[in-house]
């Protein structure tokens, strides 16, 4: 007999405001206990010294984590001038110094260099794997990990304020962009050194900081109230893909893993045309009476389920 899983099979998203000094893993552990959730995950690690939006997926919503991870993100951060640290944030050891301080005009003139697709080397203290070993483990052992440049995308980079020894920025970027690497590179390009002294994630797709819930407030509530007030629907991360409402018999087939012939439904043909090229070849969210049923894709003349949602009523 299979052992009963601990917790309740609840599904949806929590828009958490991660506190300073806590790892993302610790944060989701606390949310799991507060909500008595069976299954949980998160869409994008935040460093312990960072605060802000940490989208947490519960139950069947974990099947949609990749969509949140791929969403555009917005960060606000401060770069401290004059020092380079081995972690590229204030937690690390000082490894280089500079007396030079950039002017506001110097910074403005540089920012356009970082817009669009750029090459970026991840921080030595990062979770990137090199021959099966994490870069931060190599760095902690006193060695320098051989990290290759990666293509990342920055949509917008704005200087918010500039002072003698530091400056505040806001950046909107794509998946895989390291703010710590950006601080290091900006410092070098300005003829000085720089590291992140504060970092806050303001937005991940539809998850916005002003609507995020803190662990303190969540922890003061019983889990029924917390679920009722702060649990967001699974499909909140699927707004950018088409939705197809299925008939009852079609829903049963999709839930059983069977394919549907899209020629029999005129809008299936239209759906295929507008859906091609979407993430992981998925072209639509299948629903029934407005409730999510599955993520579906096209194969030849058929629509087939890729991920079926087993939602409890």
Residues classed as catalytic: 47
CA distance 61 to 311: 10
CA distance 253 to 260: 8
Considering only CA atoms, which of 297, 294, 283, 290 is closest in space to residue 253? 294
CA distance to 25, 54, 155, per residue, from 41 (Å): 9, 10, 27
CB 272 within 8 A of CB 261: no
121, containing H or E segment: none
CA distance 114 to 225: 44
CB 304 within 8 A of CB 264: no
Q: Is 231 exposed, middle or buried (0-12, 13-18, 19+ CB in 10 A)?
A: buried
Strand 291-299 and strand 282-288: pairing? antiparallel
| Helix segments in 23-164, DSSP class H | 24-35, 65-70, 104-111, 135-140
3-state secondary structure of 135: helix
Instruction: Tell me how far the alpha carbon of residue 269 is from its chain's centroid.
Output: 32
Among all chains, which residue has been given the structure tokens 């917790």? 7
């Amino acid at each position: 007999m299979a052992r009963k899983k601990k917790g309740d099979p609840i599904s949806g998203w929590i828009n958490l405001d991660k506190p300073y000094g806590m790892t993302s893993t610790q944060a989701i552990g606390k949310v799991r206990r507060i909500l008595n959730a069976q299954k949980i995950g998160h869409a994008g690690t935040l460093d312990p010294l960072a605060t802000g939006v940490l989208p947490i997926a519960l139950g069947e919503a974990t099947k949609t984590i990749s969509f949140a991870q791929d969403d555009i993100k917005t960060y606000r951060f401060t770069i401290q001038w004059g020092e380079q640290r081995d972690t590229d944030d204030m937690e690390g050891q000082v490894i280089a110094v500079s007396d030079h301080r950039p002017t506001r005009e110097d910074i403005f003139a540089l920012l356009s260099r970082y817009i669009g697709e750029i090459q970026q080397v991840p921080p030595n203290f990062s979770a990137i794997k090199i021959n099966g070993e994490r870069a931060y483990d190599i760095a902690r052992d006193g060695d320098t990990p051989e990290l290759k440049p990666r293509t990342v995308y920055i949509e917008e980079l704005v200087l918010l304020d500039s002072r003698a020894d530091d400056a505040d920025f806001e950046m909107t970027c794509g998946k895989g962009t390291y703010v710590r690497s950006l601080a290091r590179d900006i410092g070098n390009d300005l003829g000085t050194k720089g590291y992140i002294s504060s970092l806050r994630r303001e937005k991940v797709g539809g998850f916005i900081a002003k609507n995020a819930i803190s662990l303190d407030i969540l922890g003061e509530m019983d889990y029924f109230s917390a679920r009722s007030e702060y649990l967001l629907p699974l499909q909140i991360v699927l707004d950018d893909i088409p939705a197809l409402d299925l008939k009852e018999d079609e829903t049963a087939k999709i839930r059983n893993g069977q394919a549907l012939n899209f020629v029999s439904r005129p809008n299936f043909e239209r759906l295929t045309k507008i859906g091609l090229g979407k993430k992981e070849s998925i072209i639509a969210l299948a629903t029934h009476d407005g409730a999510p049923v599955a993520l579906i894709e096209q194969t030849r003349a058929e629509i087939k389920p890729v991920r079926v949602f087993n939602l409890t009523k």
